């Protein structure tokens, strides 16, 4: 699972460089995120703009990462494709996560 991370302005920006998070890559995704966020800031932005497909294993991995980060750390999502956004909406996970339609302007140069 290829992820690109950069710490900026008290935030860890993680870009998913894959087009899918599914059963085949969910464990790798979780492990990579755990390693990246181990000593990071208390706010993590996951840029999912390249992800076109997310299955239940992928959704479970994103939720597991949120739990891994703990209650003092915020995991925010950005750039969900229509099909990925639909998974979050249908499972009501859109009420659990802060979801930005696109990467906030101030972070676009950071990636």
The CATH superfamily label for domain 3-107 reads STAS domain (3.30.750.24)
Bridge partners of 16, per DSSP, are 3
* 69-79 mean pLDDT: 91
* CA separation, residue 11 to residues 53, 65, 86, 92, 95 (Å): 26, 16, 26, 25, 22
CA end-to-end distance (rounded Å), the chain: 17
User: What's the predicted TM-score (pTM) here?
Assistant: 0.89
* 81-103 mean pLDDT: 94
Cβ-proximal residues to 107 (8 Å cutoff; 6+ apart), any chain: 8, 9, 11, 13, 45
pLDDT at 75 over 80: yes
- C-alpha 42/C-alpha 21 separation (Å) is 24
Give the pLDDT of residue 10. Answer: 84
* CA separation, residue 89 to residues 84, 96, 99, 100, 107 (Å): 9, 10, 11, 13, 25
Domains of the chain by residue range: 3-107
Give the pLDDT of residue 99. Answer: 95
Give the pLDDT of residue 41. Answer: 79
pLDDT in tens, 16-72: 999 999 999 999 999 999 898 887 778 899 999 999 999 999 999 999 999 998 888
């Amino acid at each position: 699972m290829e992820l690109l991370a950069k710490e900026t302005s008290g935030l860890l920006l993680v870009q998913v460089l894959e087009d899918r998070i599914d059963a085949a890559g969910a464990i790798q995704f979780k492990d990579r995120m755990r390693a990246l966020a181990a000593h990071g800031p208390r706010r993590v932005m996951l840029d999912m703009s390249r992800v076109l497909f997310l299955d239940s294993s992928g959704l479970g991995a994103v939720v597991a990462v949120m739990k891994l980060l703990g209650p003092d750390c915020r995991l925010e999502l950005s750039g969900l494709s229509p099909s990925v956004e639909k998974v979050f909406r249908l499972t009501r996970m859109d009420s659990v996560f802060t979801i930005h339609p696109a990467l906030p302007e101030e972070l676009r140069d950071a990636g």
